[in-house]
Amino acid sequence: MKIQARTGLLGLSLAVAFIGLCSLAGANWDVGLLRFPGAVQIHAVQYDLYGLEHGWLTRSTAYQTAASPEDVAAWYADLLSGSDTHSNGDCFMLHESRTLLRVVRAVTVQMCRLPPGTLILVKENIYRGP
């Protein structure tokens, strides 16, 4: 019973921290997740609350833009300064992880050429850090 209460409290704390981070993100955020300027959201933001009882919250979405993957990758690399960047053919992947008050926010952005432009997949994880 004690463990369930503690886990529930941790989940609630994580949700509050998540909402706080979203609010603090300011101009770089819109209704969706890290939307590239001019990109069209092609998949609604999904919230995965399954891991919440274990202190893990995930949200993700997808966008499409007419811009090239190189331009999109450069924009996200600037936005997520200090991110790890990987490329594989026509795809780029950026990953950034930051800790604030023992809460880790990890963002992964994958961009692939999909004529007539670029498909952008964004995933964000919030969880309790060390």
> pTM of the entire structure?
0.74
Query: Nearest-CA neighbor of 29 among 73, 79, 68?
Result: 79
SS3 38: coil
Burial label, 129 (beta-carbon count in 10 A; 0-12, 13-18, 19+): middle
What is the per-residue pLDDT across 34-74, written as a single tens digit (0 to 9) for each?
889 999 999 888 888 778 888 888 999 999 999 999 999 99
* Strands of 117-128's sheet in order across: 40-48, 56-65, 117-128, 103-114, 91-100, 84-88
- Residue range of the domain that includes 37: 2-128
Q: Which CATH number covers residue 65?
A: 3.30.310
Euclidean distance between CA atoms 100 and 129, whole angstroms:
9
What is the per-residue pLDDT across 2-26, written as a single tens digit (0 to 9) for each?
555 555 566 566 556 655 555 454 4
Instruction: Quote the number of domains for the chain.
Output: 1
Query: Nearest-CA neighbor of 56 among 4, 11, 1, 113?
Result: 11
Instruction: Tell me: cis bond preceding 116? Omega within 30 of 0 counts.
Output: yes
Would you say 22 and 34 are in contact if contact means Cβ atoms under 8 Å apart?
A: no
